[in-house]
Amino acid sequence: MLALSGCAGSGGTGQSAAPAGPRTLTVWLMNGSAPDKLTDALHKEFQESHKDVTVKYEVQQWNGIQDKLTTALAGNDAPDIIEIGNTQAPKFAKAGALVDLTAEASDFNKDQWLTSLKDSGSWDGKQYAVPFYAANRLVLYRKDMFEQAGITAPPTSRQEWLDAITKLRAKFGSDPEFQALYLPGQNWYTLLSFIYDEGGDIAKRDGTKFTASLDTPEAKAGLEFYKQLQEASGTKAPKDTDEQTPEQAGIYGKGKVAMMIALPWELATAAKGDPTLTDKSSAFPIPSKKSGTTAPVFQGGSNLAIPAKSQDQDLAKDYLKLMTSSKYQSQFAGAGMIPGTSTDVAGLEKDPVTAAMAKASRNGRAVPATPGWATIEAGQNPLKDMLTAFLTGAKSIDAATADANTALNKAFAG
């Protein structure tokens, strides 16, 4: 655990010089982010070492949070610590709504920060948000179906993945409801793995400026593989919706799907209807086209930041020191998340599904760190439109990627 300033005794956090008298530290974390056991212990320790300080802990809902944060950060009663999605940080940083934490970054375990979250919390060369936790996708699969189809080991390359699909369809294809891989048309998170694996990206960066690059040969190759995988799998998933419409965990839970590209906790959702799926399933990282390696993955997650209008920034920084310490970050791994400020992922290794996520996390990437990205996800996502247009044949790959570039560049320009 990191010692805080003025630590007096083992396990203490110490207290920075601050105004005397009772104070309240308001902390906003998102629903489902931190286990109650973790926050209860953290707040108890913080208050014990910061006499006359009370932590006012408020759990927020993701639905509508961007508007709520915008209002709160502009007012005179802003919270002191906020959790923000990794795609939201640049927008609030550019607006001057967050405290610049560049000088104090080393106090928050900087040498162990998760690269994708570090990048998403920076703007114009400065650090405005600290990594909190992350997660990335993997391939959930039915061990029993693999065994029956004669697949002796999880795929470690794209070709092995395609070969496994061929074997699965040969074994179970007589069932009209069977799907070797459930892959909806608009799962752009998965598309990014294929684009990254080809050496491409969503956009090219020049300082704080981003220019869409979905029309490069590398990005197009990633899009082509998405189509190849979807066609090879014989998936019955819609081409014009994402993995939530319908919820893919529910589809997997019906027992007719051998694989889905998902987040680890989607297995628990699938197993609600059939608890035996938990023992029947396992996971492997999304394979690369290069045998024996994993494809880069989009890493979603959250950062922690201090609003510029916080009245207790000294306390907020002490709170961040404690939250980002190894003591508490290791608990995120135990809860099935990738810790943002600790490279210790031993807690993820105990389960084969989270272990697969941990293995892939070493090559995690973030979307462009630009204020415009928040509007892309909140509105009509050009990546989804591009996928549907190309997969349905409504547009050629050149037209689909060109139109996506135009839409992205418009968003990047604000």
Closest to 145 measured CA to CA, from 51, 252, 222, 66: 252
pLDDT in tens, 304-359: 999 999 999 999 999 999 999 999 999 999 889 999 999 999 999 999 999 999 99
- Which CATH number characterizes residue 394's domain? 3.40.190.10
Asked, for residue 15, whether it belongs to a domain, the answer is no
pLDDT in tens, 246-297: 999 999 999 999 999 999 999 999 999 899 999 999 999 999 999 989 999 9
Closest to 365 measured CA to CA, from 170, 123, 190: 190
Beta partners for residue 53, in sequence order: 23
In whole angstroms, what is the distance from residue 25 CA to residue 315 CA?
Answer: 7
170 and 271 belong to one structural domain: yes
69 and 175 belong to one structural domain: no
144 and 131 belong to one structural domain: no
Beta partners for residue 122, in sequence order: 127
| Residue at which a domain ends, from 365, 390, 405 | 365
In degrees and rounded to multiples of 5, residue 224 shows phi and psi of -65, -40
Its pTM stands at 0.89
Asked, for residue 175, whether it belongs to a domain, the answer is yes
Structure tokens at 383: 């990546």
82 and 208 belong to one structural domain: no
pLDDT in tens, 363-406: 999 999 999 998 888 788 999 999 999 999 999 999 999 999 99
pLDDT at 374: 81
Asked, for residue 346, whether it belongs to a domain, the answer is yes
CA 365 to chain centre: 9
Whether 18 shows a pLDDT value over 80: the answer reads no
148 and 211 belong to one structural domain: yes
Asked, for residue 14, whether it belongs to a domain, the answer is no
> Rounded to the nearest 5 degrees, what angle is found at the Cα of 19, between the Cα atoms of 13 and 25?
60
pLDDT in tens, 120-173: 999 999 999 999 999 999 999 999 999 999 999 999 999 999 999 999 999 999
Asked, for residue 143, whether it belongs to a domain, the answer is yes
Element (H, E) at 259: strand 259-262
310 and 292 belong to one structural domain: no
Q: For 84-115, give the DSSP string.
A: EETTTHHHHHHTT-B---GGGGGGGTGGG--H
Low-confidence winner among 207-211, 234-238, 278-282, 331-335 (lowest mean pLDDT): 331-335
290 and 330 belong to one structural domain: no
289 and 190 belong to one structural domain: yes
Q: Is there a contact between 74 and 97 (Cβ–Cβ < 8 Å)?
A: yes
**Which amino acid, one-letter code, is at 397?**
I
Q: Based on C-alpha coordinates, what's the Rg of the chain?
A: 22
Q: What secondary structure letter does DSSP report for 56? A: E
Asked, for residue 10, whether it belongs to a domain, the answer is no
Q: Is there a contact between 409 and 211 (Cβ–Cβ < 8 Å)?
A: yes
90 and 176 belong to one structural domain: no
pLDDT at 414: 79
CA 327 to chain centre: 22
Whether 199 shows a pLDDT value over 60: the answer reads yes
pLDDT at 303: 96
112 and 145 belong to one structural domain: no
In this prediction, residues 45-52 reach a mean pLDDT of 96
The parent domain of residue 238 ranges over 138-297+371-413
359 and 397 belong to one structural domain: no
94 and 124 belong to one structural domain: yes
Asked, for residue 2, whether it belongs to a domain, the answer is no
Asked, for residue 16, whether it belongs to a domain, the answer is no
Q: How many domains does the chain have?
A: 2
pLDDT at 5: 24
